[in-house]
Structure 1
Amino acid sequence: MKNRNNIFLSSLVAFSLVFWACSDNLEEIDGNPRNITQEQLEVDFQNVGSLYKPMFENIYQYTPVWSYQLQQNLNADIFSGYMTNPRPFVAGANNSTYNLVSGWNNFIWSVPYSNVMNNARTIENETKEEFPELFAVSQLLKVSAMHRVSDVFGPIVYTKFGASATTSEYDSQEEAYNAFFIDLEQAIMILSENIDSPRFTAFDLAYGGNYESWIKYANSLRLRLAIRISKINPAKAKAEGEKSLNHPIGVIEANSESFFINGTLDHPIKTINNSWGDIRMNASIESILVGYEDPRINSYFITSEVNEGEFKGIRNGLPLLPGYADELAQKADYVTFSLLSETVLSPRVQLMTAAEVFFLKAEAALRGWSGAGDVQANYEQGIVTSFDQYSISGAASYIGNNILTPKDYVDPVTTSNSTNALSTITIAWDNSASNEEKLERIITQKWIAMFPEGQEAWSEYRRTGYPKLFPVVSNQSGGVVDTDLQIRRIPFVDSELQTNPDGVSNAISKLGGADNAGTRLWWDVQGGNF
């Protein structure tokens, strides 16, 4: 009994000491949320964690499929020269013929604002002060989505998003880009300071919570945006690009570091392509890939039924052709052209590849930016990396080919749509070529490597004029869009015109031209391409 009493007294003393120690710290614990338990932290992270998945999945929306079709497939994917719709929707008066369908184009605007900007604002309010690394990732996703929106419309609602309940003030595209650079710089700094934090792992659909990979992506995205403004503001472009090129962690350099969204659903183009028959190979990419005898074509497309054993694309902007009773009758002939391959339509949604980054570095080197390395070495490594992405051999012989060029296009259904190739550019690097010719080589190979990401391909085509794409067969814009210059932007959408007319009026004043599809964006500089 005596021993038991001693044990009891010892336990009581120990408990008292712990109690008083805890009591002394209760005020500190209550006043400092950083001291909450791991279990409480996990609950709090779940409170914001559920907001990240919609952000990842709505940079472009891949469910429901029809939303993606309207958000990107029936605009950027076809304007880029990658794909064409075989059915002449609305009797041929649709986006592909520049008779823009405003109801379709609303989704380019509404999807990222509803699912990315709204969520980013909530995450910022919940995490910026206490868990800044969670805020930083949301900023990167926000810039990933919203630079695409700006590259479609020009001015956007960004820095003042949510500032007013009655109206939303637009930034000019220059102001938006300046804000993108600020947000990227802040995110890179925050992630660098918290690089070992595990807090985002459970919600990361791209890099498994690896902040070093996120920093490489952020640097690569900043380099992309810097190159984008290189003609309109060379000094700013150089300064921002060199921050990424000379950053100690650097940019994406391996296929394992590419930015993919790791979804569980099929790529939306798979349904549009296979089940609906609403998209097929574009004549421009047929001309280039077949002309170059590019082995990547087998990973991108399958051979056609119209010319069995051959890859066959469709010219953009087909009207309802004479001899066809209706849209479906015409579609029946053109749906037999080349489908996209299953290989390129995996559930992983591609938004930036290592190959693209090497081509960005090649152009940066061509422009004399420090840290970019050698132009030719980057150009050739971009091709090698693209081949490796699809486990394709033969890159060395492809790189050395100085004979093959894009080929003429032949339409086996409507011969009047046939046309001559627009470019004589070869593959092999030529150090004696002009900067303009070097730029055409870089962008042409970059365009091939970025497939099927039509938004970025269309933006780069507008910025540089490369690769040279076939014009639409039927231009139904009423003179608004120049057939040879092709479409430059999408007008502001009906939902904004109806709910935010003052904001749109202000946006048009910042656009620098009429609110139509022929007006160039801020970075889309007319004149010498280099």
Structure 2
Amino acid sequence: MKLISNKILSITCSLLLLCGVSSCYDTVLEYEDTTVINSSDGSVSSDTLSTSQEAEFMLRTVQTQVVSAAVHLYQMQYTLHIIDYAGYMSIPHSFDGNMYSSFMFYDSYAFGQTEALEKLAPNAIPIINSGKKLGIEPLSALASVLFSYSIYQNLVTYGPVPYSDFRALKEQRPLTYEKQSDVFKTLFIELQKADSTLEAYQRNPTAELDKKIEGVNYISEDKITSATDIVKHWRKFTNSMILRLAMTVVNVPDFNVNGKTAQTLAEEAVTRGILQPGDPQVGLRSGADGPVKAHHPLYLIANSWVDARLNATLHNIMKRTNHPALTAWFAPNNGRLVSKFNKVHNSGEKIMSMRSGTYLSNSSLASNNYILFSKFVDLAFAAKPVTLFKVEEALFLQAEGALRGWNMGGTAQSFYEAGIQESFTKNDFSGYSDYMAWRGAGDMTVSGDFLYEDPYDPDNDLTSDEKANYYFMLNNGWGGIDTNPYTSVTADKEKEYYLEKIMTQKWLALFPMSLVAWTDIRRTGYPKLLPAVYGAYGEADGSISDELTIRRIPFATGGVDEAKSDFTSTGVPNLDAETTGSVRGDMQGTRLWWDVEKTSNF
């Protein structure tokens, strides 16, 4: 799709300027477009392919474009905004005054998910269209899953998506933004179709196609190599995606796809087979010999570019739950820090984190104090895969489904505990039994260690009202209860309590998959994030507050003025037509279709 192709170079250049002294080392080559262009008119040369070799090459590329392996685009997709909304990490400087707060909308930085889709579609769609023509139906199915994944990311970031135009590789404006409900239904159908195609191939494999499948697979972390196991793993990924989508729409009244409710769609996906304990993560292996070709993008963004630091919510919840990742992954302050009131913190003194919405002055990096806050321990997290779907997520989705009375093949407690166990195993953490017995912060006799403090600016500490409302507690809605064990409380609040337990541990296990985490937070309200600092929403668009936190990223033009007329004419009307909240229009506070305004999750 080349409607917006001419801006790729300019965006890359602006991002290089954005980085300043942040050690950005990527070149314009990282943003080279792989689409074949007709030199005469700039249109896409074909929506089908001539050879299976083309499909193999392009499918390898597509796998690196969903959750981008390119560091700049990964930053635009997640770490300039969404990772903060999820409570994981925060931007520690203003990028030359472009973002004085994580809640400030800056068009060029908000375009990441659409940029990723624009890069992916011209590679994925010709593969999808060429399945029967070239006899490569399984490869077409893989491309369809990845295209659906990218569409989903746009849906849960912005809202309405020009799905049909992307699917058709439309070359001329206008683009027509479609209702979220319609696109979600299409994704369910396309994912089921892809799974059926792969299932049919499992029954009648061929040596020639097996070799191609073995040659194109990137997303199994290189831990499985035979075509039989690769196809099985992709099917589990596909059905896990269906389960994710079903849970995303769980609060939408009367939702169905051809008469099948979200529950039925989820149960069928589990029956067909989803990711199980011991399966490889669905992700790209980092390292010089892997498809990522370097360290994990987030590690580079934090440790090489000084563009991300530990968020107070992740710090606080890991502290309260005694989670081993806190000290395994995050380092103490990386320099001598003098607070606003001249209190001195020596280098390496303690782990330091930022609250969302912290005001970021337009000071030079050399004089910026928040860049001294906690980044990753050297090389910790560097070799993690760039994940599209974690086994842990599948287990926690089953836990939530079982809690809702769906047939997931086990109990909510069994899946909850299996999800935590799998996370410990995948990350080589010891002490699972001790972790599951931890009750440290739940008795309300919590020590000051669990209360957030900003070591640089005490004005950002928790207020007395926030402390009184137990914003620092894990299950602050239900009073004096334990933390990690799956144990019962009063019956009238049991389901909500258990849901908070499940979602909090899922959130910990998901890190750093911030868009999935932020989607869960908007859908369920869990985990309860530390509130943004006082006055933070003054840098937003006026539609959000402590009571209505950020619900979406507004549509972004990506530097193409004509794009605004497209989302103004069809995007915003279809957004407004399906929101259940009081805010309307292209605003941060407008609820997406699936983000139903409600008083309870049950």
Q: TM-score range by the shorter chain?
A: 0.7 to 0.9
Counterpart position of 1:258: 281
Q: Look up the SS of the partner of 1:316 in the other structure.
A: coil
Superimposed CA distance per residue, residues 174-217 of structure 1 (whole angstroms, 9 cap, x where no aligned partner)? 11111110011001100011124513221110134410011111
Q: Kindly indicate whether residue 73 of structure 2 is the aligned counterpart of residue 60 of structure 1.
A: no
8 Å CA contact 1:272–1:279 kept in 2: the answer is yes
Structure showing the higher helix proportion among its residues: 1
Judged with a 3 Å threshold, the aligned counterparts in structure 2 of structure 1 residues 385 and 398 are, in CA distance, closer, same or farther, namely same
Q: 1:66: how far off?
A: 2.4
Equivalent-residue separation in structure 1 for 2:547 and 2:329 (angstroms)? 27
Superimposed CA distance per residue, residues 335-354 of structure 1 (whole angstroms, 9 cap, x where no aligned partner)? 22111243323262122111
Q: Structure 2 matches for 1:56-135, cutoff 5 A?
A: 56-63=63-70, 65-91=71-97, 93-94=99-100, 96=102, 98-113=103-118, 115-129=119-133, 130-135=135-140
Q: 1:257: how far off?
A: 2.7
Counterpart position of 1:359: 396
Identify the match of residue 311 of structure 2 among 278, 282, 303.
282
Counterpart position of 1:158: 163
Q: 1:88: how far off?
A: 2.9
Counterpart position of 2:217: 204
Identify the match of residue 244 of structure 1 among 266, 269, 281.
269
Judged with a 3 Å threshold, the aligned counterparts in structure 2 of structure 1 residues 315 and 391 are, in CA distance, closer, same or farther, namely same
Equivalent-residue separation in structure 1 for 2:314 and 2:278 (angstroms)? 23
Superimposed CA distance per residue, residues 93-149 of structure 1 (whole angstroms, 9 cap, x where no aligned partner)? 4460x2200111123212222x22222211122224532111100011111222111
Q: Look up the SS of the partner of 1:123 in the other structure.
A: helix
Give the ranges of 4+ consecutive aligned residues of structure 1 lying more than 6 Å apart after TM superposition: none
Q: 1:255: how far off?
A: 4.1
Counterpart position of 1:30: none
Q: Structure 2 matches for 1:507-522, cutoff 5 A?
A: 507-512=571-576, 513-522=584-593
Judged with a 3 Å threshold, the aligned counterparts in structure 2 of structure 1 residues 338 and 56 are, in CA distance, closer, same or farther, namely same
8 Å CA contact 2:89–2:308 kept in 1: the answer is yes
8 Å CA contact 2:138–2:201 kept in 1: the answer is yes
Counterpart position of 2:511: 451
Equivalent-residue separation in structure 1 for 2:132 and 2:552 (angstroms)? 34
Q: Look up the SS of the partner of 1:200 in the other structure.
A: helix
Question: Bigger shift: 420-429 or 225-234?
Answer: 420-429
Judged with a 3 Å threshold, the aligned counterparts in structure 2 of structure 1 residues 74 and 500 are, in CA distance, closer, same or farther, namely closer
Q: 1:378: how far off?
A: 0.6
Q: 1:163: how far off?
A: 6.5
Q: Look up the SS of the partner of 1:260 in the other structure.
A: strand
Counterpart position of 1:21: none
8 Å CA contact 2:92–2:360 kept in 1: the answer is no
Length-normalised TM-score, structure 1: 0.85
Identify the match of residue 143 of structure 2 among 138, 143, 154.
138
Equivalent-residue separation in structure 2 for 1:125 and 1:93 (angstroms)? 41
Counterpart position of 1:430: 487
Superimposed CA distance per residue, residues 150-188 of structure 1 (whole angstroms, 9 cap, x where no aligned partner)? 110111111343375332222211111111100110011
Q: Which amino acid aligns with 2:459?
A: S
Q: 1:54: how far off?
A: 2.5
Q: Which amino acid aligns with 1:337?
A: F
Judged with a 3 Å threshold, the aligned counterparts in structure 2 of structure 1 residues 186 and 299 are, in CA distance, closer, same or farther, namely farther
Counterpart position of 2:375: 339
Q: Look up the SS of the partner of 2:303 in the other structure.
A: helix
8 Å CA contact 2:122–2:169 kept in 1: the answer is no
Identify the match of residue 498 of structure 1 among 536, 541, 562.
562
8 Å CA contact 2:541–2:587 kept in 1: the answer is no
Q: Kindly indicate whether residue 331 of structure 2 is the aligned counterpart of residue 302 of structure 1.
A: yes
Q: Structure 2 matches for 1:401-416, cutoff 5 A?
A: 401-405=438-442, 407-416=450-459
Equivalent-residue separation in structure 2 for 1:417 and 1:95 (angstroms)? 13
8 Å CA contact 1:156–1:507 kept in 2: the answer is yes
Q: Look up the SS of the partner of 1:494 in the other structure.
A: coil
Pair member with larger Rg? 1
Question: Bigger shift: 220-229 or 121-130?
Answer: 121-130
Question: Bigger shift: 301-310 or 375-384?
Answer: 301-310
Equivalent-residue separation in structure 1 for 2:566 and 2:511 (angstroms)? 38
8 Å CA contact 2:177–2:566 kept in 1: the answer is no
Equivalent-residue separation in structure 2 for 1:525 and 1:277 (angstroms)? 37
Equivalent-residue separation in structure 1 for 2:571 and 2:101 (angstroms)? 23
Identify the match of residue 315 of structure 1 among 355, 359, 379.
355
Q: 1:391: how far off?
A: 1.3
Q: Which amino acid aligns with 1:457?
A: A
Q: 1:502: how far off?
A: 4.0
Counterpart position of 1:442: 502
Q: 1:410: how far off?
A: 0.9
Superimposed CA distance per residue, residues 409-442 of structure 1 (whole angstroms, 9 cap, x where no aligned partner)? 0111111111145134222112345211111110
Equivalent-residue separation in structure 2 for 1:202 and 1:163 (angstroms)? 27
8 Å CA contact 2:98–2:106 kept in 1: the answer is no
Q: 1:492: how far off?
A: 1.2
Equivalent-residue separation in structure 2 for 1:401 and 1:172 (angstroms)? 45
Q: Percent identity?
A: 28
Counterpart position of 1:417: 460
Counterpart position of 1:29: none
Equivalent-residue separation in structure 2 for 1:312 and 1:108 (angstroms)? 30
Counterpart position of 2:342: none
Question: Bigger shift: 400-409 or 117-126?
Answer: 400-409
Equivalent-residue separation in structure 1 for 2:551 and 2:363 (angstroms)? 30
8 Å CA contact 2:244–2:397 kept in 1: the answer is yes
Q: 1:327: how far off?
A: 4.5
8 Å CA contact 2:353–2:374 kept in 1: the answer is yes
Note the residue ranges of structure 1 that are not aligned, 5 or more in a row. Answer: 1-42
Q: Look up the SS of the partner of 2:284 in the other structure.
A: strand
Judged with a 3 Å threshold, the aligned counterparts in structure 2 of structure 1 residues 336 and 349 are, in CA distance, closer, same or farther, namely same
Counterpart position of 2:550: 487
The alignment yields a C-alpha RMSD, in angstroms, of 2.3
Question: Bigger shift: 139-148 or 414-423?
Answer: 414-423
Length-normalised TM-score, structure 2: 0.75
Equivalent-residue separation in structure 2 for 1:461 and 1:392 (angstroms)? 26
Q: 1:400: how far off?
A: 2.4
Judged with a 3 Å threshold, the aligned counterparts in structure 2 of structure 1 residues 390 and 216 are, in CA distance, closer, same or farther, namely same
